Amino acid sequence: MESRQRVMHQNSAHEGRISYSRYGDLSYRSPIAKGYGACMNTPRDIKDRIFKRLLRHPALVRDMLSGFVPAAWLADLRLDSLRELPSEFITPRGDKRLGDVLWLADRAAGRRLLVMAEHQTAPDGRMAARMAAQTGMLYDSLRAEMRGPDSLFPALLPLVIYAGDRPWAESADLSATVEPSLVPIIIGGRRYLLLELERAASEHHQPRNRFWLLARLTFAASTAEATQLLLGASRWLDLADEDERRMLQDFESWFHALTPEGRPTDWDPDERRGLEEMMGRLTTLETNNRRAMERSRAAGIAQGIEQGIEQGVERQQAMLAHLAARRFGADWGGRLAAALRAADPANLDGVADLVLDCSTGEQLLNSLNGHGR
């Protein structure tokens, strides 16, 4: 997909080594055409479990909030204070509902914010009612110690994370599904914020944002692009951190859940591996993907894949040239663009660091020459 530089905040008013069983035609089994629910070779409960595991990584949730929720809503929020709460709600009357994920974060003046996220794979006209009911049960289940200094419970941010490809035209307002009434009870008002992964992937380019990575993996145009996303993440995630390491493994599991034809024969979505073994599997994934591309190219069916990779490289080169122009002037941005066209695409990942570290455009180009062509 082409990346359009628009920020998506909300919906409209309706608004060891591994072997592969087979690789097929290299088309990515993502929701790009039919929604990821069409990948029936992976049971839905496994896909839901992997997706919920990803939503339990605090760094990914921080990236989701900071990159995809209106900044004004989070002005006093301390993102570094996020901690997960149990998502099973049991009210004093015994009502029970299993939510997807629930997080709590501190705000200014001793206040706090609850973040409740629900994962959806298809539009649901009853979503506003469901979220209203779940909000009520959540507050009904909170204990007195959850009250703040003013004896009030924390505010709530309800999110619906939509991973399907069909347009979401459902209202987030209950009044759209309820008959008008003379009873003066207010039922209007938005019940949730919709985050659409397809829009996030295509409209909001944030290469080092973990939530964007999830969106882009879900809607990658090819296995080649998805593989490069995984390998790129292995370079910028802090794999010395256990949560980041587990997150990368969950990203890998998500990739295999969406690409059953390219899945390792010993794939276990719940297996936890060491860093060395995981990196070996990613390296093997890249090797197998390259070999599959070579076979496809020989058969004359890799042209579209190559064009997608080339477009991705061109977008990255344009972004780097733009960044250089912002720092050192348009002339240096043009010079960098010309230099990058002759550079090895494998070295592009380090160029952004050079742009930020160098003091002048001349130093940038000299460093680029020494960085590898």
Asked if pLDDT for residue 17 goes beyond 50, the answer is: no
In sequence order, which ranges of 35-167 are alpha helices (DSSP H)? 44-54, 58-68, 127-141
**Other CB atoms within 10 A of residue 74 CB:** 17
Query: Are the CB atoms for 237 and 19 separated by under 8 Å?
Result: no
Q: What is the pTM of this model?
A: 0.69
152-208 pLDDT per residue, tens = 999 999 999 999 888 999 999 988 888 888 887 777 788 999 999 999 998 888 989
CA atoms within 13 A on the CB side of 36: 32
Instruction: Tell how strand 112-120 and strand 155-162 pair up.
Output: parallel
More confident residue, 293 or 343: 343
288 — pLDDT class (breaks 50, 70, 90): confident
Query: Rounded mean pLDDT of 337-351?
Result: 75
95-122 pLDDT per residue, tens = 676 678 999 999 999 999 999 999 999 9
Asked if pLDDT for residue 299 goes beyond 80, the answer is: no
Query: Rounded mean pLDDT of 294-322?
Result: 65
More confident residue, 327 or 236: 236
pLDDT above 90 covers what percent of the chain? 36
What pLDDT is attached to residue 16? 30
For the chain, how far is it from start to end, CA to CA, in angstroms?
28
Residue for token digits 């909001």? 204
What pLDDT is attached to residue 244? 94
Residue 28, exposed/middle/buried by CB under 10 A (0-12, 13-18, 19+)? Answer: buried
Q: Where are the beta strands (DSSP E) in 144-300?
A: 155-162, 193-196
Query: Are the CB atoms for 84 and 99 separated by under 8 Å?
Result: no
Residue 67 amino acid letter:
G
Average pLDDT score, the chain: 80
Strand partners, 115: 103, 157
227-270 pLDDT per residue, tens = 889 989 999 999 999 999 999 999 999 998 988 777 778 888 88
